[in-house]
Amino acid sequence: MTPTARRNPGIDALRGVSILLVVLHHLALRIPLRQTALSDVLPQRVLRALSYNGYEAVFVFFVITGFLITVHAQQRWPSLARIELRAFYARRLARIGPALLLLLAVLSLMHVLKVPNYVIDKPGQSLGGALWSALTLQLNWYEGRTGWLPGGWDVLWSLSIEEAFYLGFPLACLGLRREALLVPTLLLLVLSLPFTRAALDGNEIWQEKAYLPGFSAIAVGVLAALAATRWQLPPSTARWLRVLGSVALMAVLLCGGELWRAVGNANMLVLVGGAGALVLGLHAMPGHAPLRALAGLRAWGRLSYELYLTHMFVVFALVGLYRALGSDVRLGAWWYLALLPLCWLLAWTFARAWTEPAERWLKRRWLHAPSSGSTAVPTH
């Protein structure tokens, strides 16, 4: 059993890009980047790509977490058919639970205090309903039935999908027992992606946040991890995977509208397939590969979970100040410059003061993990 997993700087950087797109998206919905002075120097296509690909970035996250959790499971146990349920679930809960519980406590307090942008007041919604749906991994379903929740709550839809998948994943591995059965099952799940999205047409929220499309993206990551374990990729093959994966992701991010008109819901297969190829190629990259230029993105990637959960506090604070000052949207790019360091600082503080110590403490109690040393590579 391997107590800690080696970080992959390339995958950390990809996570950094993904969380950056999510953060930019949520500010761009409120301070449109396309209307700032940057439109004088950057093409509108680039500004749209930076502003409105937060949803696609979450699906890239799904692929990455599917890959990392599978790789780590293969390192810890002789095979996926011998996963220890208690240890698997304990690790997931130790990583996810402390941050989620504290976030829910803060959001609940802000609702009770009637802080603007944090009050749950739509028909059919309540604080109790939002809490129950978040704790039982069905906040995505709750929103699909009742409408959008405030932004601080809304980000939890993806957590509901991920953790629901990981409740069933070890059971599927233990039940099927052989890769010859597991792989076709995962492939069917992946290929169902365009059909499940098309079947949900008519309910915008549920089409975006339903379980099966998200499961399909995570399954791509699992398949990529199985491939990484089975085959030792030659450097040239890994290089081509990185190129093809990057091209596929850029096609979706920069030409999403044209791609949608050409292939419809299959555009999501291009996205998750490209992410799977890129992750597999990055995994095969030598550990000493020079990635110093991506140090900032790697730092964001290592804090991706904390950034994802906390960035809306910074977004709402900056947007409130922007509106109170009556700022000119042409100067809106300056607010983005403030957004990024503030988001990182809040997430770093959250991780150092709470999530990392809590995770270590829980693992010591539940898994008898060593009391010193680095925390295992986060897989969310």
**pLDDT, tens digit, 9 for 90 and up, residues 119-165:** 999 999 999 999 999 999 999 999 999 999 999 999 999 999 999 99
Instruction: List the single range of 112-116, 165-169, 201-205, 211-215 with lowest mean pLDDT.
Output: 201-205
Supply the pLDDT for residue 4. 39
7: confidence class by pLDDT, cuts 50, 70, 90: confident
- Predicted confidence at residue 245, as pLDDT, reads 98
For the stretch 38-94, pLDDT in tens is: 999 999 999 999 999 999 999 999 999 999 999 999 999 999 999 999 999 999 999
Residue 222 above 60 pLDDT? Answer: yes
Q: What is the mean pLDDT of the chain?
A: 93
Backbone angles phi, psi at 371, to 5 degrees: -80, -15
pLDDT of residue 371: 54
Average pLDDT over residues 332-350: 97
**pLDDT score, position 377:** 52
Residue 88's pLDDT is 97
Residue appearing with tokens 């809490």: 131
> Would you say residue 367 has pLDDT above 70?
yes
The CA distances from residue 193 to 7, 61, 121, 187, 241, in Å, are: 30, 16, 33, 10, 22
pLDDT surpassing 80 at residue 289: no
For residue 287 the two structure tokens come to: 């550990």
The pTM assigned to this predicted structure is 0.94
What mean pLDDT comes out for the span 97-102?
98
pLDDT band at 203 (very low <50, low <70, confident <90, very high): confident
318-328 per-position pLDDT tens digit: 999 999 999 99
**In this model, does residue 369 exceed pLDDT 90?**
no
Label each residue of the chain as H, E or C.
CCCCCCCCHHHHHHHHHHHHHHHHHHHHCCCCHHHCHHHHCCCHHHHHHHHCCHHHHHHHHHHHHHHHHHHHHHHHCCCHHHCCHHHHHHHHHHHHHHHHHHHHHHHHHHHHCCCCCCCCCCCCCCHHHHHHHHHCCCHHHHHHHHCCCCHHHHCCHHHHHHHHHHHHHHHHHHHHCCHHHHHHHHHHHHHCHHHHHHHCCCCHHHHHHCHHHHHHHHHHHHHHHHHHHHCCCCHHHHHHHHHHHHHHHHHHHHCHHHHHHHHHHHHHHHHHHHHHHHHHHHHCCCCCCCCHHHHHHHHHHHCHHHHHHHHHHHHHHHHHHHHHCCCCHHHCHHHHHHHHHHHHHHHHHHHHHHHHHHHHHHHHHHHCCCCCCCCCCCCC
What are the structural domain ranges in the chain?
9-367
